[in-house]
Structure 1
Amino acid sequence: MADQHVVPDGKGGWNVKGAGNSRATANFDNKKEAEKVARKIADNQHSELVVHNRDGKISRKDSHGHDPHPPEG
């Protein structure tokens, strides 16, 4: 159960990578398609989806069943 990251591939496209993996699970021409696939994987694995910007910084995170900091109430 690895968090799924959407990261730039350095060639203008976007990769979906499991946390700790050196190789991409999938590569896409656009960020929207990469997010779609990464979200499906994170949902199936009950893990986190972590979306990065072109500069590599995290733009947002979405929990899919395993939230380490769930909201109170």
Structure 2
Amino acid sequence: MKEKVPNGNDQHQKFARLRRQVRAMQRQNLEPPQALLEQLVELDNRLTGSYPGWVTNFPSAKEVDNGAGKIHNMRVR
């Protein structure tokens, strides 16, 4: 039996699962726990190779501050 090699895919699945949890809470007008949001942002940063503090309003991430003070739209992967 081959040894399971960790790949990036399970990270993406974990990210998708977390994001679904957060979205479900928002649909019910509940505030998702801060720890959950931080975990989501940290995972997203690792997957996209961006740096911390990049996304201003993470779960809906409509607006992103690109550091020059310009706000532009961004789709969440």
Per residue, is there more helix in 1 or in 2? 2
Q: What is the TM-score normalised by the length of structure 1?
A: 0.32
Q: What is the TM-score normalised by the length of structure 2?
A: 0.31
Per residue, is there more strand in 1 or in 2? 1
Task: Select the structure with the greater relative contact order (CA < 8 A; seq sep ≥ 6).
Answer: 1
